[in-house]
Amino acid sequence: MKKVLVLISLLVSANLFAGDLGPQSSWAEIDAAYSKVVINSASVSFEGRSADIMKVCFEGDMVRTIKKVKIYEMRDIGDRTVWEEVGFDYLYTPKKYTTEYCAVGRGRHCRWVTEEREYPESMMINVNKQPRGDRSFGPLMFRKLYTVPSC
């Protein structure tokens, strides 16, 4: 009898941990459960900086951050160089971009390939449970379609 009660309590606690999150949940609900889940989404590169694909929107043939971000400039102060905050602005990058990667081999024996790519308008995103120990993410809970909004 004790084993049955322990098993039932484990099942109940597993459901409470996830909080009824699933593919039917809105992205706002999933994002609000950030302490319970890890959203494994792609990144967008903005010349030396990056942003989560869920924090950008499409504006014509450009990708833009939804919110303004801090802008920094390098300044010389005496004998040292520091990054100083100079304001806020949107980051932009083209929707189509060129990437270079090692297709065969590695190191000096690598055969580099240049390829034209485009940031997708929709993609499947994995939602995992929070990790335990030194893992970067926990077990997969579900996958959900995400569509990048227009600005």
Give domain status of residue 9, yes or no. no
Average pLDDT, the chain: 85
Tens of pLDDT, residue by residue over 93-125, are 999 999 998 988 888 889 999 999 999 999 999
Query: pLDDT grade, residue 58 (50/70/90)?
Result: very high
Give domain status of residue 7, yes or no. no
Tally the domains of the chain.
Answer: 1
Would you give the DSSP letter of residue 108? G
**Does 135 score more than 60 pLDDT?**
yes
- Please return the burial class of 45, using the count of CB atoms within 10 Å of its CB with bins 0-12, 13-18 and 19+: middle
Give domain status of residue 11, yes or no. no
Give domain status of residue 85, yes or no. yes
Whether 55 and 46 have beta carbons less than 8 Å apart is answered as no
Give domain status of residue 1, yes or no. no
The domain of 128 spans 21-147
Give domain status of residue 110, yes or no. yes
**Does 47 score more than 50 pLDDT?**
yes
Tens of pLDDT, residue by residue over 10-39, are 444 444 444 588 899 999 999 898 888 888
Greater confidence, 8 or 26? 26
Return the number of other C-beta atoms located less than 10 Å from residue 54's C-beta: 17
pTM of the model: 0.70
The whole-number pLDDT of residue 92 equals 96
| Mean pLDDT value across residues 70-78 | 90
For tokens 């569509």, name the residue.
147
The whole-number pLDDT of residue 68 equals 96
**Does 8 score more than 60 pLDDT?**
no
Give domain status of residue 14, yes or no. no
Give domain status of residue 92, yes or no. yes
Return the number of other C-beta atoms located less than 10 Å from residue 44's C-beta: 22
Cα–Cα distance between 145 and 27 in angstroms, integer? 10
